[in-house]
Each structure stands twice: as structure tokens, then as C-alpha cells.
């Protein structure tokens, strides 16, 4: 019941007044190295973050723990708000941007950082600001690759890394006489064929064609490995043969190679995890360390391992261009501070807390996410994590342009529109070409607008 606005307004006004004085105070008196000096008594910091579908209970607990620690440190409350989907996230950011009010701290997927940066509604960190979050050198340098257009202009503070790898079922590989995981996409398809036994419900690969993100990540990786970075200056190269080849390979697993469960056209990534966890798949594609807690409790516990995904494009014998550095997109979560926030120092203090070594390790333990804190990352000794850390080093940032969101949507849309064809068992070449052409023209238009701004 909040139909008593006057009291609340008074509180808001009071808080704002306090915030102003507090900001003035800390700004002048400290060049604090750790932000620990911020006094936030009586204030509330609003943090927007994605809901964790896999571990909702754990997330709630983590949030209340962090809030308690933050209160102890600064005296301020933290209030968490979660968004359920990328769609919600976009809407929240847009409305906050246009209204100049909303959460103080946002947690963003890395690929969304360029779009957020383009709005200029988030703080581009000064040297001083970096000091407040514990110094730039506290972070894994690779993780900073998508924090801003260049090292002088960075808005995204890395929180976790989530490089994409593949998991494989050691027993199934061994049974098929495969000694080590594939390093080229062609080899992967060959191995997958050997492991597929549709009659027994076993398939070589597990991946979800209806996932909202996975499809474009495959296409991006295969294209980059074939020497096409997709965005070349002001030019979008989605009508390139390499992109078409990538889609054909990706769709081909289902239609030609038949190494994927036909039901996968309706799967998201988590359905694929479930299939792999039940021992029904040789490879689980495009997964992250966050699958560890699930897999360790499943039928494949102890029987699986991770490996970096192939870095050699389909039809090639060795990586081209930056290919060998494109085992994964540079992925994870960044946190950004809203430009309109009245309590930026408090926000930085919060970020300092959650990116500290101990908190990062704690987070890794609960959710399986790789730390962005360099020291914490280095202290991980679990051999299972080795390939993942390896992939973190071989991650390549997606192009830093405000148009990336549209391009990504276009890449995804080609798959969305092809799903009925996939269900029928073959994707018509001319239909694919026209979808690509459409995506190319829309994406190019978006790039043009980005260039003008």
C-alpha cells in the first residue's frame, strides 16, 4: 500500500538532499583508493540485474548477503531489482535513459554494452572513478575488451566472464573411438556422426535452435574464423559467402548430418544442457562454466569435461585471420553506473565490493561464473576450469558499435525464420539467401545511422 505519497516524497527529497551533501563531501575530501570511505547511512542504492533462472534461490540469498555486507561497509541499503529477459532489460534501460531516473547500477550482458554506451547515459569512468572501484588493474585485462570503444573511454566494469566452450561426454567419445575433442568444425561433425544413434536417442551434438542467443554466436564464430569480422569499418558483411556457409553448417547438423535431436528446433540452451546431462549427447555446444553445478549433480557427473570450441571455420584446414583468437565471443556481465545517479560514489563502492577477490570467488563457487577479478581468476585451480580459462584468453570482442544490437537481432532472426524449414528437414538455399539479404540491408542501415551519430 503506497497510496501515501506525501511521506514518501518527503523521504525522497530528504534522501536526495543527503545524497547531494554526501557527494560533495566525499568528492572533495577523498581520492580514496578503495571507495571504503563512502558514508551511505540512510541511503539506498538501486541495482538492476538479470534474474538467474538456473539458481533463483541462490541468487536471492546472495543478494541479501551482499546487501548485509554493503550495509556494514557503508551504512547504505542495497535494493535489487531483476529483469526477466533481454527484452525487459532493454525496456528498463530505455525508460531510464529517457526519463533520467531509475536504478543507480545496471548489470549488462557484454554484448549489450555497446548499445548502452551509445546512449551516453552511463558513466564513462575517469581514472579517479577506476580507483574507486579498486583500480583498473584489479581486472582481467581481456575482460575489459568490451567495456568501451577504446581504453580511454570505458563504461562497463567487468563483473564476471562467461567464455563459451563445449562440454563433452568422455564415455561417449571413448566408445566411438575418439581420442580428443574436435578442433575444426568439420571434424566436429564427423565425430558427432560417429556418436549418433538415433534409435537409442543418442546424438552427437546438443544445441538449442530456439535459443535467443546461441544461434548468432555460432554464426559469428564461424564467420570470424573464416576471416570475416562481420563489421568492417562502416560496412556490414552479412551477405558474405562465409556467413551463408556458417548458417549451412549450423543448420546442416540437424538437416544433413542428422547429429542433433530433431526436437532441438524447439529447444533453448537449457534444454540442450538437460539432454547432455542425461547422457544423451556427445557434445554440449555453446555452454559456460555456469553449467558445472547442474552437470555435477546429473547422470554425467565425473564423466564430462570442457574443451574450447573449434577455431577452424567449416571447410578450412586452419584458422584464418583472427580465427584462433575467436574460440568464443568475449562474454560475461559488465556493470555500469547511470549518469543520472545522485550517488555515484556509493555505486562505485558497491562495485568495489562485488569485484573484490573474495566476493568474486564466492560468486564463482555459487554460480560457477568465472571471475573478472584477475587475482581471483588466477587462484582457481580446478583442472576442469582450465579449458574455460583458456577460452577466456581466446575470446574476441564483438564489434563495439551502437548498431550491434540490431545486427545481433538480424543474425538471430535468420534462424527464427528458418525454424519451419528446419522442421521440414531442409532449408531452401534461396530462402536463406533472401533472409540474409534482408538482414544485411537492415543491419547496414543501422550501421549507417551509428556512423552518422
Could you list the residues that contact other proteins (CB under 8 A)?
A: 1-3, 5, 8-9, 12-13, 51, 53-54, 56, 81-82, 84-85, 87-88, 90-91, 94-95, 97-101, 115, 118-121, 210, 212, 263, 265-266, 268-271, 273-274, 402, 405-406, 409, 412-413, 416-417, 419-421, 423, 445-446, 449-450, 453
Name which of 97 and 142 has its Cβ closer to other proteins. Answer: 97
CA distances 228 to 169, 231, 310, 389, Å, are 32, 8, 16, 25
Print burial letters for 150-167: b (CB count within 10 Å at least 16), e (below 16).
Answer: eeeebbbbbbbbbbbbbb
For the chain, give the longest Cα–Cα distance.
73
Least separation, in Å, of the C-beta of 204 and other proteins? 20
Least separation, in Å, of the C-beta of 346 and other proteins? 19
Least separation, in Å, of the C-beta of 379 and other proteins? 30
CA 63 to chain centre: 20
Cα angle 172, 178, 181; round to 5: 90
Name which of 185 and 216 has its Cβ closer to other proteins. Answer: 216
Least separation, in Å, of the C-beta of 271 and other proteins? 6
CA distances 249 to 38, 109, 323, 348, Å, are 54, 27, 17, 45
Name which of 23 and 409 has its Cβ closer to other proteins. Answer: 409
Least separation, in Å, of the C-beta of 453 and other proteins? 4
Residue from 363, 439, 338 nearest 81 by CA: 338
Residue from 447, 373, 377 nearest 410 by CA: 447
Name which of 114 and 181 has its Cβ closer to other proteins. Answer: 114
Asked if residue 326 lies in contact with residue 221, where contact means CB atoms within 8 angstroms, the answer is yes
Q: Which residues contact 153 (CB under 8 A, 6 or more apart)?
A: 124
Asked if residue 103 lies in contact with residue 47, where contact means CB atoms within 8 angstroms, the answer is yes
> Exposed (0-12), middle (13-18) or buried (19+): which is 417, by Cβ within 10 Å?
middle
Name which of 33 and 87 has its Cβ closer to other proteins. Answer: 87
- 402 φ, ψ (degrees, to nearest 5): -65, -15
Asked if residue 443 lies in contact with residue 406, where contact means CB atoms within 8 angstroms, the answer is yes
Asked if residue 345 lies in contact with residue 35, where contact means CB atoms within 8 angstroms, the answer is yes
**Helix, strand, or coil (residue 197):** strand
Name which of 368 and 387 has its Cβ closer to other proteins. Answer: 368
CA distances 246 to 20, 188, 207, 216, 423, Å, are 54, 14, 15, 10, 19
Residue 153 DSSP label:
B
Least separation, in Å, of the C-beta of 420 and other proteins? 3
Name which of 57 and 137 has its Cβ closer to other proteins. Answer: 57
Spatial distance between the Cα atoms of 432 and 346, rounded to a whole number of angstroms = 50
DSSP-derived secondary structure for 294-358: HHHTSTTTTTEEEEPPP-B-TT-SS--TTGGG-SEE--EEEEEEBTT-S-HHHHHHHHHHHTSHH
Least separation, in Å, of the C-beta of 243 and other proteins? 18
Name which of 128 and 433 has its Cβ closer to other proteins. Answer: 433
Name which of 101 and 151 has its Cβ closer to other proteins. Answer: 101
Name which of 13 and 174 has its Cβ closer to other proteins. Answer: 13
Least separation, in Å, of the C-beta of 130 and other proteins? 23
Least separation, in Å, of the C-beta of 69 and other proteins? 21
Name which of 135 and 420 has its Cβ closer to other proteins. Answer: 420
DSSP-derived secondary structure for 205-272: EE--TT-SSHHHHHHHHHHHHTT--SEETTEE--SSHHHHHHHHHHHHHHHTS--B-GGGGG--HHHH
Name which of 319 and 402 has its Cβ closer to other proteins. Answer: 402
Least separation, in Å, of the C-beta of 440 and other proteins? 13
Least separation, in Å, of the C-beta of 312 and other proteins? 31
Least separation, in Å, of the C-beta of 434 and other proteins? 11
Amino acid at each position: 500500500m503506497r497510496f501515501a505519497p506525501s511521506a514518501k516524497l518527503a523521504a525522497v527529497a530528504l534522501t536526495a538532499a543527503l545524497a547531494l551533501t554526501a557527494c560533495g563531501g566525499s568528492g572533495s575530501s577523498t581520492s580514496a583508493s578503495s571507495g571504503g570511505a563512502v558514508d551511505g547511512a540512510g541511503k539506498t542504492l538501486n541495482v538492476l540485474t538479470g534474474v538467474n533462472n538456473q539458481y533463483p534461490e541462490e541468487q536471492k540469498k546472495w543478494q541479501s548477503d551482499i546487501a548485509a555486507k554493503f550495509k556494514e561497509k557503508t551504512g547504505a541499503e542495497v535494493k535489487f531489482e531483476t529483469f526477466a529477459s533481454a527484452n525487459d532489460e532493454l525496456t528498463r534501460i530505455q525508460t531510464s535513459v529517457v526519463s533520467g531516473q531509475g536504478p543507480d547500477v545496471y548489470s549488462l550482458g557484454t554484448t549489450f554494452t555497446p548499445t548502452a554506451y551509445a546512449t551516453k547515459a552511463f558513466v564513462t569512468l575517469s581514472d579517479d572513478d577506476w580507483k574507486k572501484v579498486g583500480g583498473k588493474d584489479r581486472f582481467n585485462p581481456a575482460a575489459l575488451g568490451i567495456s568501451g570503444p577504446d581504453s580511454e573511454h570505458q563504461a562497463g566494469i567487468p563483473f564476471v566472464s562467461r567464455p563459451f566452450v563445449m562440454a563433452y561426454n568422455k564415455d561417449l567419445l571413448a566408445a566411438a573411438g575418439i581420442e580428443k575433442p574436435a578442433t575444426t568444425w568439420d571434424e566436429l561433425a564427423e565425430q558427432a556422426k560417429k556418436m549418433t544413434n538415433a534409435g537409442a536417442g543418442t546424438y552427437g551434438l546438443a544445441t538449442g535452435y530456439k535459443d535467443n542467443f546461441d544461434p548468432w554466436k555460432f554464426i559469428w564464430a564461424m564467420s570470424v574464423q573464416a576471416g570475416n569480422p562481420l563489421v568492417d569499418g562502416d560496412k556490414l558483411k552479412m551477405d558474405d559467402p562465409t556467413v551463408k556457409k556458417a548458417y549451412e553448417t549450423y543448420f546442416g547438423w540437424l538437416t544433413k548430418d542428422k547429429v542433433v535431436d530433431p526436437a532441438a528446433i524447439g529447444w533453448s540452451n537449457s534444454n540442450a544442457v538437460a539432454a547432455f546431462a542425461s547422457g544423451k549427447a556427445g557434445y554440449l555446444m555453446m555452454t559456460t562454466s555456469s553449467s558445472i553445478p547442474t552437470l555435477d549433480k546429473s547422470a554425467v557427473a565425473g564423466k564430462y569435461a570442457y574443451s574450447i570450441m573449434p577455431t577452424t571455420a567449416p571447410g578450412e584446414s586452419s584458422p584464418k585471420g583472427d580465427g584462433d583468437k575467436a574460440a568464443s565471443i568475449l562474454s560475461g556481465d559488465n556493470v555500469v553506473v547511470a549518469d543520472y545517479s545522485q550517488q555515484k560514489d556509493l555505486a562505485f563502492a558497491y562495485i568495489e565490493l562485488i569485484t573484490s577477490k573474495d566476493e568474486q570467488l564466492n560468486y564463482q563457487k555459487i554460480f560457477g561464473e568465472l571471475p573478472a577479478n584477475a587475482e581471483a581468476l588466477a587462484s582457481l585451480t580446478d583442472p576442469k576450469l582450465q579449458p574455460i580459462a583458456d577460452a577466456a584468453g581466446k575470446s574476441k570482442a564483438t564489434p563495439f558499435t551502437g548498431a550491434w544490437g540490431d545486427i545481433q537481432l538480424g543474425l538471430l532472426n535468420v534462424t527464427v525464420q528458418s525454424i519451419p524449414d528446419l522442421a521440414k528437414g531442409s532449408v531452401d538455399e534461396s530462402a536463406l539467401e533472401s533472409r540474409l539479404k534482408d538482414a544485411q540491408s537492415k543491419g547496414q542501415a543501422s550501421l549507417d545511422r551509428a556512423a552518422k551519430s
